[in-house]
Structure 1
Amino acid sequence: MSIVVSNMRLHFPRNRGNLVFLIGTIFTIFILGMSYRKIDTMVPEVDNEDLDDYENQMRRLREGESAILRRHHSQNSPPTYMVKYPWAMHKNYLPNFYTRRNVGADNRWPNDLSYTNSTIVFVDNHNSAGGVMKECLSAIATNLSLPKPSLVWNNNVGKFYKGIKAEGSDQSLDKLYLGGFSFGVCDYTNEPCSYYTVIREPYERIIASYVYCKGKRELPCQVRNAKGRPLSLKEWALRQGSFFFRQLLHNPEVCGLDYLSKIAELREPDDPSATTMPCWYKNKLVLDKIMTREDKHQVLDFILEHIETWFSVVGITDEYDTFLRVLQHAYKLPFESLCSETIENVVFKTDGEDYLSQSELLYELKRELLSDQDVFDALYFDVRIYQKMQEIFVTQKEIYFTYFDTHPTVMTEPTK
């Protein structure tokens, strides 16, 4: 028996046993192919990628088009689902210093001076040792006679962006910015501008935030009105949710005066008033209102795809000392030289003066959260982002220690 398909003739065996054998063989090959495909997607790219292959891939990527030009592609042709969030389509950022450039070549682009002379913006993930970095940037500014870093935080978000927006999108910015709502500053200049950040494992960050805010009346901690009972750890985790995910999506206008009536409509009875509510919580209310769970998953994919082009350097708190080293080399500023001694060996502080180590506190509180499905759902987006940043951080380290660690970083005076 035979069947003609186009110009090919397929012959099927007449013997029934042979036919069964042929079908079984085809099925086996198909299953093995799908299995290998699945296994291939499970292999971590960062841990197993050879640096020579990495260099070749980066070189091919950059043929005919530089990274600094490609960074605008997503803005000009955003995915359909991102059209609903125009404020999240940022521009004018330098790509990752280590992973998005041909680091082994003399003609790499953007060149090193682009980073050294850029406006440098630290995106502070709340309770991820941001206080250490704030002190570090202040010390660097003092050491190099630079203006004090400009702060973009809960109490000035609306006013800050309203002012900077009024100056247009082609202005000369200050040298240093920092804060939880600083992601977006680079939109307002055409000069070199770059972001960097460091984040903590999401469960540990929630615990650190809960311990820090318990009993405090600081603005970032006020998500319950003065007459409300204190929040439990789980309630706090559900209220904060995927904090960094929303930092990358924050709309500055939400924290301005024009949004007060809208916030008043969205707030729950036990929430603070619209005028006293922290900016991060206003953004949460608005995003939860306009985004479905499916929307958030789509936007998460967009974020994971763009982290390496948005941030010049990323760090994790577990390796803060190494983070300072790769920062120092990327920016040619004394991050490690001036700030290594400020790294705290303990990360949680109670209302008193005594400190609790991670091992003593995390064991009880983290165990409480890890088995809770509601908490997992709330932190899911930050967990995925953290995993991605871990991968990027490992690659940064590999490249730094392979190419640069044997050569001392030469400090240069920035132009700003």
Structure 2
Amino acid sequence: MAFQNSRDKCNAIAIVSIIALFCAAPFLLSKGSTLELNQPLMYKKNYIADVQPDHTFRNQTIWADVSHSPKPIHLQNILPNAYLHPDPTRPYNESVLVFLHNPKSGGTTVKTCMVKMSQAEGDDRRPTLVAGPRAIDVPNELINGAVSVNKYYMGTSAFGMCRFVGGRACSYFTMVREPYDRVVSHYYFCRSGGPTPMSCDGTLEDFARHTCNLIFFQMIHRYLCRHEIPGVDASPWRCRDVGGGLHTVEQRGRQLDYILENMDKIFAVVGITEEFETSLRLLENTFGRPFHSMCHADHANTGTYEQDEAKANEKGERLRVHAEAKERLVKNEELRKCFHEDIIIYNKMKEIFEKQKKSFFGAGL
């Protein structure tokens, strides 16, 4: 393109600049609705293939182009951790509550509690279950205006629901358990006939390969599976099977880093199965709803091996079977890599839980 004079050249540059700004506007505006990952896109990350038995890394790093990594989690209307970021003006007691159910971690008790609270409050609607096929149906119904926003959402696929509540204040909370313990418990629960979408006809190791990093995939599957694989059930159980091919080691590391860096902004409260009573007290104090006073007596199915664990009747025998099964998983190098994200996430949640306790009991609540 030839220019007659310097004025034409300036005009052309101005037009190109305006077009470029117009094209970039949606991206620039969208940045305000999420907590963005650190730049640059060339991201330094420890290589996951070097996971050690204690889930630390050797001193090997790589530089990877992660320009096409999954999008960050939207945090615009999500209330941050009530104890790490205290602010009396935040409407936790009026927010939409979304419970991410991590199986065999006391979640059944929490879901039952939410139903009881809803009934006691005189609500016509029960808490909305977000799991299996409903993981797609529930958001679509809200988007299409087929239903109004509920007060409670819960389920294994509930993470992400705060995006669909019309901008209302929204609080995520969860209950997590040490991942090796959770998988062993889940396996024997399934073997005893307990309801689960996973098959447990094979060995414990086979079962662990499909459930080892469930927390990690629960937190990212809505973005990696539902939106990028048309026709795939949004349940993390099924997305777990296809998830390994969805992202590279570098992308997984980037997602894990993002979760760890923003976990205190994602979950209003984190509960730990090993301290279930205290977890219920934290929930009750945060949301002003009777999680502990109404439901602590219902906690009967966590920390045990239900019915079938080698048909053992003695608690000591159950603990022995548990310990031996867990040791098999810990010693398995392949599975150790598979458990890596969930171990790191659990340790971070446990760290947050301890800070919550310190704040809660320090205030004499």
Normalising by the residue count of structure 2, what TM-score does the alignment of the two structures yield?
Answer: 0.75
In structure 2, the partner of 1:174 is 150
User: How far has the Cα of 1:216 moved from its partner?
Assistant: 4.4
Q: Which has the larger radius of gyration?
A: 1
Amino acid at match of 2:360: Y
Checking the alignment, whether the CA contact within 8 Å between 1:152 and 1:181 is kept in structure 2 is yes
In structure 2, the partner of 1:160 is 138
Against the structure 1 CA distance between its residues 211 and 89, is the aligned structure 2 distance closer, same or farther, given a 3 Å change threshold? same
Q: Does 1:295 align with 2:251?
A: yes
- What are the ranges of 5 or more consecutive residues in structure 1 without an aligned counterpart? 1-69, 102-107, 225-229, 264-276, 406-416
Taking the TM superposition and a 5 Å limit, the aligned residue runs for 1:2-401 are 72-75=33-36, 80=41, 81=66, 84-86=69-71, 88-101=73-86, 108=87, 111-112=89-90, 114-146=91-123, 147-167=125-145, 173-188=149-164, 189-214=166-191, 216=193, 218=195, 220-222=197-199, 230-251=201-222, 254=225, 259-260=230-231, 279-344=235-300, 346-351=303-308, 357=315, 359-401=319-361
User: How far has the Cα of 1:127 moved from its partner?
Assistant: 1.5
* Whole-angstrom CA distance in 2 between matches of 1:137 and 1:161: 20
Checking the alignment, whether the CA contact within 8 Å between 2:70 and 2:224 is kept in structure 1 is no
1:318-365 per-residue CA deviation (whole Å, 9 max, x = no partner) reads 000000011111011111100111122652223599777462431221
Against the structure 1 CA distance between its residues 252 and 239, is the aligned structure 2 distance closer, same or farther, given a 3 Å change threshold? same
User: How far has the Cα of 1:247 moved from its partner?
Assistant: 0.4
Amino acid at match of 1:232: T
User: How far has the Cα of 1:294 moved from its partner?
Assistant: 2.1
SS state at 1:234 partner: helix
* Whole-angstrom CA distance in 1 between matches of 2:67 and 2:299: 38
Q: Percent identity?
A: 26
Computed over aligned residues only, the root mean square deviation of the Cα atoms, in angstroms, reads: 3.1
Amino acid at match of 2:355: T
1:268-290 per-residue CA deviation (whole Å, 9 max, x = no partner) reads xxxxxxxxx78223322343112
SS state at 1:84 partner: coil
* Whole-angstrom CA distance in 1 between matches of 2:104 and 2:67: 29
User: How far has the Cα of 1:384 moved from its partner?
Assistant: 0.2
Checking the alignment, whether the CA contact within 8 Å between 1:349 and 1:355 is kept in structure 2 is no
Against the structure 1 CA distance between its residues 307 and 78, is the aligned structure 2 distance closer, same or farther, given a 3 Å change threshold? farther
User: How far has the Cα of 1:75 moved from its partner?
Assistant: 4.8
* Whole-angstrom CA distance in 1 between matches of 2:37 and 2:204: 42
Amino acid at match of 2:261: E
Against the structure 1 CA distance between its residues 397 and 375, is the aligned structure 2 distance closer, same or farther, given a 3 Å change threshold? same
* Whole-angstrom CA distance in 1 between matches of 2:119 and 2:284: 16
SS state at 1:348 partner: coil
Normalising by the residue count of structure 1, what TM-score does the alignment of the two structures yield?
Answer: 0.66
In structure 2, the partner of 1:104 is none
Amino acid at match of 2:205: K
1:210-264 per-residue CA deviation (whole Å, 9 max, x = no partner) reads 1122264845224x8xxxxx221111111222000000001279469x833xx5x
Q: What is the number of equivalent residue pairs in this alignment?
A: 305
